Structure formats: C-alpha cells, structure tokens
Amino acid sequence: MGSSSSVEKKVETTGKEERGGVPKRARKRKVEEYASDPLSGSYKSDDGKVELRLDVDKVAPYWPVLNAASGDIRRDNGDLVSFQCRSLRSESNTTTFKGTAKMWRDEDVKSRAVRSAKVTIEAKQLQGKWTAHVTIQQKGYPEDMVFDCKRYSKYFRSVNLDVDYCTDTLQLPKFDTHSHPTRPFDLPQRILDLVTIFGDIGIEMVHNTENSSKVEDPDPSNPWSLSELKDVMKIHQNVNQNQWNLWVLLANKYRDPRSAGLMFDKKNRKGCVLFLDHPWFRGISDETPNPKAMRKFLHTLVHEIGHAFNLPHTFESGNQSSLSFMNYDWKYNEIHEPNAYFRNFHYTFDNAEVMCLRHGRSCWVEPGASRWGAGLPIISAPPDADSDDPHFTKLKLDVKPTKSSYSQMEPVFVELRIKNTHKRPIYLDTRLDLESHNTKIFVTTPDGRVLEVEPTTNHIIPPFIQGLYPEGSEEGPDRVSDVIPLVYGEDGFYFCSPGKYHIKAVYRSGEYYVTSEEIELSVEKVENTEILKVFFTDVMGEYIEMGGSEDSTYDACRELLNKLAGSDEYSPWADMLTSMTCQYKKKPRSVMRTGDNKRVKVSIQESSLETTLSRTQKLVDNLHANGTPRQSILYKKSVMQRAEIFIALGQAEKAEVEVKMMLNDLKERKVKFFVIQWIEDEWMKLKGESSPKTQQEIIQERVNEIVTWYTEDFDKEEEINEESGLGHSTIFSHFNRRHTSSRDDLVYKIMAKADDEDDIVSVLEYADSLQKTRQYNLSVVQDALLIFIVHHPLAKEAGIHFPEFPGAPEMDLSTSAISLTPDGPADESTMNYFRNDWDFCFHHSHWHRVYFGGKIPTSKETYTYLDRQGELFGYMHKQMLARYNAERESWGLEKAVAYDFSEVEPLGCDLGKQFHDHSENGRFHPRPARVQWRSADFTRFQKFENNIYEAIRNGELTFTPDENGLGQLKIEKIPLDLEEDVAAEGYEPRSGSMNWMGNILEATTQTFNKTYGNMHNEGHGIFGSTRSGSSYMHTTSHAVRDNIFYRWHTRIDDILHAFSGTRKTELNKDPPPVIISEWDIIISTSEDQPQGFDKWNKTTGWEQNFDSDTMQTTLGEPKKKFEFLKMSHKPFSYHIRLRRIDGSVNTPLPLTLRIFICPAKHVNDRRRWIEMDKFRFILGKDQDHATLTRQDRHSSVIRRNPNDSADDFEIAITKKVSGFCECGWPYNMMLPRGQNENGGEDYALMVFATDNKLDTLDVRSECGSLSYCGAKGMKYPDRRTMGYPFTTPITIGGKIVSINQAAQMLSNMGMTNFKIQNNVRIELDSPPDESVVRPTTVWQARTQLHLTTEAEYKPSSWTGRFRILIRGEMIESDDDIKHIRIRFQGRVKGNGDYKVRDMTLSERGDSLNLRNENILEVTVDGQTSFAIPESGRYSDILSFELEPEVDYFLTFLLDSPSCYVSPATSGEAVTWRIKDADGDAAVSQDWNALKEQGKISHTRSSLYAIQRILGAGENWQ
C-alpha cells in the first residue's frame, strides 16, 4: 500500500529517559518526514462498543511514535475489558502488527492486569479510510476476541476545555519557542499553545471560546479563597456532566500570594486555577508579551492540566532529572545548575507519560477518575531513616504532635522541624507544608494501614531557599518549623478511630533526603456515636479542608461545629475547628456558567470579617491561657490572622494589644529569640510601619556582607572537593588565567540563577551558599558576584551598586586611614597618597569587573562581549600613567621607568600594619625589596615580547594552536594595518587592529595564544607572588597601591606605543567647518562666563579675549580607608567659543568637542596628554557662532553622579543610555596636583572639534564614565580611536607634524595655557604634650581570638547572663597602667541600641568561678544599667590594674541582643552564657555547679560586646 512505507519501525528504549521524552531517532529526523496518510489514531466499531488506539506511524511533524496499541471493549453484559500492548511489531514492513498485551477485566482503578494476551491488528484501507481487524488470543480462553473498527480521528483522546477569566479579556498562552534565548540548541522554532502541545502527544484539546465567561467581581484586587474556588468548581461540575471536560479559571490572585496556581483535588480532578497576578506571569498582557512570563504561563497551565489527567510529578516517582512538563523547573535545577531546565527542555512529556496518556486505561487518564499517578509508579511509603549518605546525616527531621493525646473529631496538628546537624551552613528549600511537595507525612492507623497525608488541593508555589546554620551560630537559625494540620485528605479522616497511631515524615529536596523517627499519639474514644456519624463524612471533611464555606451544602457542618464549640465537653478543641472554617471575604463574586444547554449565574459569598473574629476569639483565649510551647506556631498563626482582620476593619489598636499579648506569652514560654524577632518583624510589616532601612539598603548591606565574608576554616575533604579547582587555601588572582576561567564559569551560573528566578534575594543567597558551604573558594564567589552586580539588569533593578567601604565620616580616622605623609624631600613614598587614594583604587578594581573578559548580558538572558575591550585596556592604563607621571613630576620626581626583566627591584612595597591588620586584607603580604625575576620567567617574557615586536614590524599577528586548551581562537593571521574590523572564528565582536594589540597583551581566556603569551596578566602574577604568599599585584583591588604597578604598565605601554607609532592620524581628512582659537577657550573656577565673553561682531568676530584662572588643588586629610592624603580641587568650568567657517551656514553642525590637558613642557609628547572630557554640541543651522560652558562634574571621564546631570546641556541633544554608574576616574583626582611655587605649574589646555556625524557620539549616560566604560548594551560610543587625536603620530596633508604645529595649523584645534597651583600643605601634628599620658590598648578581642585581621562585629540574637574571659596572656600592660576603660562595640549602623546591666570585672578563680576579694563594678555615666548605641561606647574610668598572665572575667547581663565577633577557626571557650537571665541560675555565683547541671552554654568561636580595654596612667586624657 501507498502508506506502508511511512510506517516507522519500533523505537527501542533503554529505560533511561530521553530528553523531553522524545526518542532520539524521532527528534533527529526532519520534521517534514511524517506519513502522508497515517493510520495511527482512534478507531471505533460500528456499534460503539469497541475503542481502539493504534500508534505506529508519525501523524504530525513532532509526533513521537510509540509502536503501541490499546483499547476498551464493552461486553454485552456491561463489563469493560481493557488491553494495552506496549510493543507492536510490523510484519515485513506491512500494515499488520503483532504484540503481547496486558488485559484488565473491570473498571476498578486499583485492579491489576489479570493475564496477558496476543494481539494481531490488520490495518487496511476501504473506500479511502483506514479500518482495523483486531484479534485477541487469551491463554485459557477457547474463543478469540475478534472485532473490526474504523478510524475516526488522528487523536487518541479528545477533551473539551472550558476557560473562565477575571481579566479584561480572555488570554491563553501562546509562546514562540525562539522568543526566549534560554533554550536547547536544537529546539525548532514554533508557536506553542495548549492545542499544539497536547496535539503533539495525540490529545485533542477542544476549546469553544463562546463557553468562556468573565467573572463579575466588584473588587478585582480582593484575593480568592479556597472555598470560593471550590464552590465555583462544584457548580461547573454539576452543570457540565461530560466525563472528558476540563475547566480552567484564570483568576487574579489567591489569598496566599505565593501560590501561582492550584489543582482542585485528587478525588475529583476536573479543573485548575492560575493566578495571573503572580510575579511569574507579569508581562503576558503587554503589547509585546514578556517571553519568560509567557513561557511560565504555558508551562504552568500545561503542568496543571497534566495533573487533571492524573499525572503525578515526575519527582514523586524519584525522577527529579526529568525534562517533562510534569517536573518543576526548580526541582530539576536543584540537582543540576541554575536555569538548566529550560536550557534543555523540549516542551513535551516524557515517554512514560505519553504512553499513559495515549494508551493508559481510560480510568487512569479520564480527568478525576482515579487517584494521582494511577498509571505511573509513585513513591507512596516512607523509607528507612538510617543511611550512611552524608546528605541524610546533615539534617535531622522531627515530627512533634502539639499534644500526645487527642479526642475523636479533635483536629490533630504536628510540628515539622528540620534542623542542621552539620558543621557547615546548609541551604535548602525550607517550606515544610505539604503543598511544597518537599514533605510527605505517613500515618499508620490502629488497624495497620499506612496512609499518606494528601491534601485535597495542590498548590504550585515557588521554592523558598534559606540557610540553616550550625547550632549556636550567630549567622542565623539552625532550624525551621511549621505546624501541619492532619485532618482530612485523599483517604478521608486520618484519625477517625480510637487507638494508637504512628506518624512518620520524609523531607526530600535537591540533594537532601531525610526521614524522621516514628512518633506515637493516641486518640480517645468519644461515646456520642450520633455526633461521630454526622462528623466523619466527606462533606464535613471537605468543609474543614477548604477552610469553611457559606454555601448551603455545608449548613449542617456549620451547625454541628457551632454546637460542639458551645459545649464544655468538646471545647476548646472545637474552637480550633471553628477557627479553621472561617475564611472571610469582603464582597461576593459571580460567574455565568454554560453547559448542557444551561446558563446559570452563580454568586459566591463568604463569611464576614466580624464573623471570623467571633469564631476565632475562644481559640485565642484558650491558647493565651493554656497554650504550651509546642503550640507556639499555631498561636502565632491564629493571632496574626486576626490582626490582619482587625486592621482591615480599622481597629489596629486591638490587633496591637493581641499581638503584644501573644509575644509576651511566647517569651514566658521560653520561645527562641529569633522566633520572637521574626514575629515582631512580620507584625511591623502587617501594620505598615516602615523599617528604618529601605529594601534597597537591606539588600545592599547583604551584598556587602557576602563580598567581605572571610574564613580559613575548611577541612581536607573540602579542600579537595572545592568546585572551582583552586581549593580553599589558594588566593584568587585576577591575573591567573585558570583562576579567571573558573571565576567566569561561576559568573554565568550566578547570572543563570538571576535569569531563572528574577529575584535578587535568591541570587544573593545562592552566591552566599556557595562560599559558606565550602563548595567554592570564597574569593571566586565574591569576584563572580561583583561581576554580576556590575552587569546584570536584575542588580540594577534592585538598585545595587558596586560595594564601597569608605569607613568615613562615621569611622575614626585613626582606624580607617593610614598615617599622613610626613614633610621632607620627595621620594617614592611621597606618591603614597596618589597610589592609595581609595576612589582611585576603586576605579581600577571596578573597571576590571566591567571588562572582565567574558560575555555580559545586554538584556536579561541575552549575552555578548563588550566592544573594544583590548583597545580600552590599553587606553585606560595609558591615561593612568599620564596622570601618575604628571603627579610625580609635580614633586620633582622622574616619571615611571619601565621595569627591566633582569633588574633587581630595589624598593619592594609594604603598605603597613594598619592595612594588613584589616579584615579585607589579611591574606595579602608585603612585596619584598631586592628581588629579581627567575631566569626562566625572564627568558619566557623576553620571547613573548620579541614575538610581539616582530608582529608589529611584520604588520600582522600570527597564531598557532593553544596546546593547553584554554584558548578559543581559530584564526591564523590578523593584519595590523587595516582600518576595517577583523573577525576571528571563536571571538566576537569584530575587532580592529588596535583592539587586537590590547587583547594579546591582556589575554583573556578567549584571546590567549602561546605565541604572544599573556604578558600583562602573568607579569602581575609574578610580582604578586612572594615566598610569604600573595602580594598586592595579585588583585585588581590593590595592584595600583604598589609602585611596581606603574613601572610594569610602562613596559606594557611601550609596546602599545611602538605599535601605534607605525600608524598615522590624518587630521586634515574630515575637519568640521568650525574655528576655535587659543583665545576661545579658558578654564575658570567660575561657572559664569566672563563678562563680554560672548560679544560678537559680524565683521571682526569676537570682541574681547580672556585668560584662564589658576586652578586650585589641595592635599587634605584622608577620608577613607587606607588613604594617606586626599587630593581635591576647587570646582571649575570650561568656557568655549566657536564660529563657523564662512559658507557653512543653513545646516546644523553637530560637533564632538574633545578636551585635553598636558604639562606645558610635554605638549609634543602624545603619551602625556590627559583626556578631561568629550561631549556633543550642535551649532544650529542659523548660528554662525556660539559660546558654551561645560562644568567639570559633567565630564565623560569621571565617575559621574546622576544627581549632577540636571543642568547638563548635552541631555537635550543626545540619547539617554544606560551606563556603568560606578565606573570612572575619581572626581577628586580630576586635576593633577600642580605645584605651589611660581604661582603654580604650567599646563596646556586643548579643545579639538571633530565631526560628530562621523564620530557617532550621540549618546549620554546619566552616571559613570562614557570614555572609560562605554554604555551598556551597545558599541563603544565613539568611532574614533580612543585618545584621538593623540593615539598615533599626527599628519596634516600627509606630513608628520608636532602637536604644537597642529594646533597652529588647524582651525578646529585650539590650545592655550593655564596654571595648576597646589596651595595647601599638610603640616605634622604638634608634638604630644609630655605631661599627658594618653591611653593605650592593653587587651583586644581580636588578639585573644587569634584574629590576624580587623574582625567585624555582627548583630547577635542572644540574651542572658554572660561571662567573658579576658585571657591574661593576651594582656599587654606595664606598671604605669593605673586606670582602665572598657570599649563596648555597637550593633552596627541600622541595628539599634542594646542594653547592658550589672557588669562586674574580677580575677578568675576556679574554672568558671570568681575570686571574691576584688569584684569591681563597671558603670557608664555612673549607672549600672546602660544602653550601648550603634556607634559603641566607653565605660567610666576604672581604677584597676590589669596584670599580664592573670585571667579575668567580665560578667554582665544583656536584656537585648548585642553583637559578637568570630575568628576564622574555633579555639578554646571564651564565652559562657546562662540563657535564663531572670531565673535562679542567673543570680548564682557557683558557675561550676551550674555547668555540671547543664544550665550554662559556651561558645568557642565568639566573643560578645567587648571590643577592647584601654589603659593609662594617672593623667588620663
């Protein structure tokens, strides 16, 4: 037959899931290759009693072929026989198929196949239609089953879809598979919707839009409740009796805002709801729908409809790696990597699911006809708790009933608690409710049945990843708890019979899988059997499970519960049921329902707010009077629900009283402090009181915490298993190619996390988890996170900026800045102020995070390389050298000399104790003096350099394969004399010759080649490696502090200068018709133009000339950490005049004005010119002249502040673009220092006008430097070479001229002179007054804890009575110390005060006890009870001599949490605490006895509140 050739052979499977559930062979075939006349589909006998589903050839382009058959046969006696053949074979490529089938002989979902049978199907065409003759031979049956069927549909099932909606118009998902960049590389472009997706697997989805109704809702902002949704669902089912009907409601939002959608119940699964106000779906209604939101809309709706067909989650059957619609993307990503699911998802179901949907028994597939997963395997029994797997042993899961004994009908609640028992933090999804699908609870009844607790509604809720910390850690809680009601579910009431019950729970998420111990509880018999009969019904169970309903169906339920609540016998637990069934709502909703020729208007009304308060009052009263610690979470939930209602009724004061009552009760019941704090925070949010910090401030603080976290605590196994390959003991280097390659991999993981979740908090917690779990080297994590912050749109949306830690002005300069530079003859140390300027160091560090060498996102999930990185690398560092050399010469020092490979470097670099003692710098070491490179390095670098110079001479770069495999270049040669950009396979974007030179000198992973090496980066690595460890040159954060940096970069710049010297810049090629003379430009300390500056005479031109002002610079006291002095200047402006050349009027003249300065004596040295600004200016079509003023704060080279942009004239004539806001040269160093002598140092000022139409410089970023970092998401906004016109030698008419000559010859170049005067000198402090003895530090917390860095205190959560050990061996004192003062550390800005009382200082006695002969009372302002502000505080002066080698105790009580400091590794115990500060133990002096009784806890790793002790002699000051 004509169609026989189209029949596909059986696809053998291995049992392992193919990606997306489509066999590889089918996926690799061209999509056009499907049967022109397929025989697959549904067949039916003439009498309608036989249904056959034949699946042997491809019906549509994306149709998987399963080579299977199934059918249903209704016998004459009414019995139903079903068969399923999963492996059909065709005979000799004909249309006859044979196989072995399983048989079922009834409609019971739980029944097992009774026997197997042989099936033969002969397909033929009669009158142009396919028919099938089927023979079923059953062993043991004398007669075969034989029947004939006709093909009536290409589909295997057909379902009617009814959609109602709350939005303005009905919208169903429609997704272009190529609209989103995160996708499989082989995913074909298609438009997907419900019809195509289910059509691909043979399910016909029939949707009649006429049956869709808009929900009439007087208050669309009011969230839906479960009872409302179930009422509407019930009505839909009553009106529409067809078994193969599905109903979808597209609602606005649910009462729990976390819920994105829900499936109604497992017993009658006929419909689902999506809540389109959920963040997942924002943007689906935009004019151009958001692709990510539309993808999620489609995935979620298909997922829920899959549940309606009784499909379970794939992870419930143990397959968390499934790429099916029935998996959650985050479940897949948990065990792979962020965003991995959609990078591999082919928008289909897996093979087992397709087999079930096509060929499963009808009772398995029909919506709501069977239990969840009836046709697929699912884990339904608890595993054993014992396991050697470390992922099991890191966590402990506990189940605790709120009571040990219950009465029949009494609702059972259990507390689930998961606790970290590991020594490291664990980050996991901490949702314990059953809707999370992380947790399963199993109940063993008195008669031995094992029931899984399954709620009647299943929500889809995003994960909540949270860190659980080791026990006793101050970083956060070690556990999380939730209270779960166990009342009614899939199997009815769980505790309906009296007797002993056993409960066990399982938690499984990601790599963690843990089982609880089994607990026992008893249920006592209730004698009133009549009440029991009424109570234990499905109607009552549904009523309780949905949280109550005002529907008349449940009138008897409400009546019974009210009766029980009013009875002394059943109260107070009956009050709990009343509380559980009082969902509330403000206004009714109504919807038109259509079905079976009926159209019904339905109104849904719930109980009022006042009714809800009335029904819950007795419960709260009972929890207040008789509640136990086990009921704390239940108590909190009840009170906070009522508080929300009180506020809705305008009765916030009643809510305040009830919440405070609850908090006081919980404190008395010794609930943990962090739980109290959590409830207080929730209450603050509920009543709308703003936090002292904005969300942006909180997020920024979190960023700062993550990127400054430090530890040296890691074990051997963690060192070996560290995922970047560096290990934990290695210091990350920005100049090591292996290091940066590993860093770049992590950058993309973090960015993928952001693309996946669109939640900045989740991204930050993910990054923090990677370092604190010791999964990655902390420096790799922190650098990757900084790059994410610089580049990813999500970070910008959150308002995060690149972290800064200036430490001023709040911080004492003595601890935040390095000692001032002394007066005297200038030497190398004189330049410390320049090299250590904090803003300058920040500029260099930040620039290298912007241009880190990898792809960056141009928008969310779209990545590309930054334009002209190599060229900008050379230019930015060239400008640094120009400024550095100008500064050196202002002191009379020689300019930086290029480092010689063979020299013995004489100076070294040591930034001093203050620098190295700080926590940010503890891993760095001084670079020693008199060190020479190894001969092997000398030889290697000389070879690289020679090869580069040879390439310059030959005019081309020649590449050879990179043997170590890190390089990506596949090009052989690149000419160096072409103006056009050159492309290389494996490298984007296209690059010009100047860019290639920068790329080979600062070779990233993608541009490295062994011929030319990686001179810049590897040179940094050599200088940064010392015998003691890593030095400053190892990192971009500190490299510029080292004097060798400038000598090394001079050598690099010499190469670039040699290359640029081989090219020429012709300045007479395209000059704009404009004149700027030396008298037309001045630099002034006034923003106002001099009077008469703009006076113009048409005949003679400008009427008056003016001189520039002398620029004023200052060297002031340091302002930020690790500075010596701080450069600054008086604000200045440029005033510029320009005029057209005759004949150029009547057309607008767009110009680019480029401003440079240079020491006057070096004007002909193009390396010494300093770019100050470049900007766009337009001379109007009717203008023949113009004047303009440009302020210094608008400069394109500085880190421009967006608050300074309002008066910038460029705004009106440029397009606004997004910039790198933290990028740019520091404003305070905009002018070189100059000199004080002779009225200042002579400088040249140049303004050069170029044709803006050719430059294409028509954009402006409101912040950051356009010159140094360009603009986000676009090419570098100036087509000229960077530094133009000084990049190369200058020619005019083909002849090389000096810069001075060019200024005289060109009308569009003006040059004038001005002076820079440094008129403030720093004087040394006056000699100290010898009569005054100043205090010195005699003891420090960080020294006692063996911290080598300036450890930072963190807010604590502990209260109680403390005893702090002041170890004698750590006391540095002498006989002159007669008095002491104690310095208390504050809780850090934004965390508030804390209170200390009853502090004493005494010599240590036996173990934890005191010597009683000399106990000194510590006071502040004469008080024994005092508050410590955020900034910290000193005690009063105490007359007490601390003796070295003698141990002391500080004992005190904290009424509120203070702060603590932790070392990198744990040592001996230094802090002891009595938790119950008001109990008998707190007043006892025998702490040794208390320790034996277990009433004292201690910590080896933390010391609380006390920062240091100062000592002085008699004359304290």
CA distance to 575, 580, 643, 647, 1476, per residue, from 637 (Å): 15, 11, 10, 16, 26
pLDDT of residue 295 exceeding 60? yes
Task: Find residue 1317's DSSP bridge partners.
Answer: 1112, 1235
> What's the count of helices (H) and strands (E) in the chain, helices before strands?
38, 72
Ranking 344-348, 712-716, 1352-1356, 1443-1447 by mean pLDDT, the lowest is 1352-1356
Whether 747 and 855 have beta carbons less than 8 Å apart is answered as no
Q: Which residue in 173, 172, 171, 186 sits closest to 292, CA to CA?
A: 173
The tokens describing 919, both together, are: 């926590």
Cis before 220? omega within 30: no
pLDDT for 597 equals 42
pLDDT for 690 equals 59
pLDDT for 867 equals 82
With the CA atoms of 295, 300, 305 and 308 taken in that order, what torsion angle do they form, in degrees rounded to the nearest 10? Answer: 170
Q: How confident is the model at residue 635 (pLDDT cuts 50, 70, 90)?
A: confident
Q: Give the dihedral sign, CA 780/784/785/787.
A: positive
What's the whole-model pTM score?
Answer: 0.79
pLDDT of residue 1159 exceeding 80? yes
DSSP classification of residue 898:
P
With the CA atoms of 654, 656, 659 and 665 taken in that order, what torsion angle do they form, in degrees rounded to the nearest 10? Answer: -100
DSSP alpha helices (H): ranges in 758-868? 760-772, 778-791, 793-797, 813-816, 832-835, 838-850
Number of residues that this document lists for the chain: 1517
Phi then psi dihedrals of residue 648, to 5 deg: -65, -30
Q: Is 315 helix (H, G, I), strand (E, B) or coil?
A: helix
Q: Cα–Cα distance between 847 and 385 in angstroms, integer?
A: 52
* pLDDT tens per residue, range 180-233: 988 999 999 999 999 999 999 999 999 888 778 787 766 677 788 887 787 777
Stated as kind and residue range, the H or E segment containing 130 is strand 129-138
pLDDT of residue 289 exceeding 70? yes
Query: What is the pLDDT averaged over residues 1358-1368?
Result: 88
pLDDT of residue 501 exceeding 60? yes
Q: Is 897 helix (H, G, I), strand (E, B) or coil?
A: coil
Q: In degrees, to the nearest 5, what angle opens at C-alpha 180 toward C-alphas 176 and 181?
A: 135
Strand pairing class (1309-1318; 1111-1116): parallel
Share of the chain above pLDDT 90, in %: 37
Q: How confident is the model at residue 385 (pLDDT cuts 50, 70, 90)?
A: very low
What single-letter amino acid sits at 508?
A: R
Q: In degrees, to the nearest 5, what angle opens at C-alpha 360 toward C-alphas 359 and 361?
A: 115
Task: List CB contacts of 420: < 8 A, sequence separation 6 or more.
Answer: 394, 395, 426, 468, 469, 470, 471, 478, 479
What single-letter amino acid sits at 633?
A: I
Ranking 139-153, 453-467, 606-620 by mean pLDDT, the lowest is 606-620
Query: What is the pLDDT averaged over residues 1333-1351?
Result: 70
CA distance to 98, 106, 152, 310, 371, per residue, from 85 (Å): 9, 17, 20, 21, 23
- DSSP for 165-234 reads ESSSS-----EETTSSS-S-TTPPP-EE-HHHHHHHTTEEEEE-GGG--B-B-S-TTSPB-HHHHHHHHH
Q: Cα–Cα distance between 1348 and 1350 in angstroms, integer?
A: 7
* pLDDT tens per residue, range 656-705: 888 889 888 888 877 766 677 778 878 887 887 755 677 788 888 889 88
DSSP classification of residue 647:
H
pLDDT of residue 757 exceeding 50? yes
Ranking 835-839, 967-971, 1303-1307 by mean pLDDT, the lowest is 967-971
pLDDT for 809 equals 33
* pLDDT tens per residue, range 227-270: 778 777 776 655 555 678 888 999 888 888 889 998 876 566 78
- Residue position matching structure tokens 């300390």: 1085
Task: Find residue 117's DSSP bridge partners.
Answer: 101, 138
pLDDT for 242 equals 64
- 688 HSE (CA, 13 A, CB side): 5
- In 570-668, DSSP assigns E strands to 589-595, 598-604
pLDDT of residue 112 exceeding 70? no
Instruction: Tell me how crowded residue 690 is: count the other CB atoms within 10 A of its CB.
Output: 8
Could you tell me the maximum CA-CA distance found in the chain, to the nearest angstrom?
123
Phi then psi dihedrals of residue 839, to 5 deg: -65, -30
What single-letter amino acid sits at 1445?
A: E
Between 580 and 165, name the one with better pLDDT: 165
